[in-house]
Amino acid sequence: MLEVKNLMVFFENALAINDLTMAVNEGELIGVIGSNSAGKTTLMNTISGLIIDMKIKEQRKGGERINVYGEILFKGENITEIEPHKRVNKGLVLSRERHPIFPESNVMENLKIAGHQVPRSQLPQRMDYVYQLFPALVQLKRRKAGFLSGGEQQMLAIGMALILKPKLLLLDEPLLGLSPMMQTMLVDAIKSLKEESGITILITEQFARPLLPFIDRGYIIENGMLALAGTGKELMDNPEVKSAYFGI
């Protein structure tokens, strides 16, 4: 479904992604694991196309140069130069890190805003699906998103992405800053999402312990480069991974 070939991303002279090649097959749940500043968010921004908007904004204000090399193929089509909103229309949807919600609007309004391009007849059904996946949001429908806890905001952010009915859902560090209990709840929801809906998922995280047991395959990146790849079990059993990410 997704192929990333020899991807390189430069911010001025700083190399953020270095000759990275990876693939996501239809129906898989793939994890990309790396420490802070390993290049995970840059990878997701590049796959989703947000890097194009970032590049244009920097050019307009005379800021740092951003250059992208390599290829990104989605369902066999080269989308490297395609704008982010066109990638969304093709079914490639990103839920960004740090809860990108509208704090002054309530939960229901946030979901409606996210679904502004969805046919009105389909919107209630899609909203109901979000509430089924995240039952905690049902009682919070009319609460302003800015008053939600970090975990509740993360549920809402993922729900806003799901409203668009993605074929490939990109989750950028959804567990960041959450309590262990909320992490467990969110991991269970992501597993249910894959098993029940069949959505293909690519997730980045620096917390390997809750992620590795349920992914199909994983990639570990360091300084923007691919360091290791394998199944979740293979990575869990790798002594280097245990030492670097589990403290064992």
| Whole-number Å distance between alpha carbons of 202 and 217 | 10
The tokens describing 173, both together, are: 């560090």
Which CATH number is 85's domain given?
Answer: 3.40.50.300
pTM check: above 0.85? yes
What is the per-residue pLDDT across 71-119, written as a single tens digit (0 to 9) for each? Answer: 999 999 999 999 999 999 999 999 988 667 999 999 999 999 999 888 8
Tell me the percentage of the chain whose pLDDT exceeds 90.
Answer: 71
pLDDT digits (tens, 9 = 90+) for 25-78: 999 999 999 988 899 999 999 999 999 999 999 989 888 899 999 999 999 999
pLDDT of residue 29: 95
Q: Structural domain tally of the chain?
A: 1
Structural domain boundaries, residue 73: 2-246
Residue 224 binned pLDDT confidence (cut-offs 50, 70, 90):
very high
39-58 in b/e form (b: 16+ CB < 10 A) is: bbbbbbbbbbbbbbebbeee
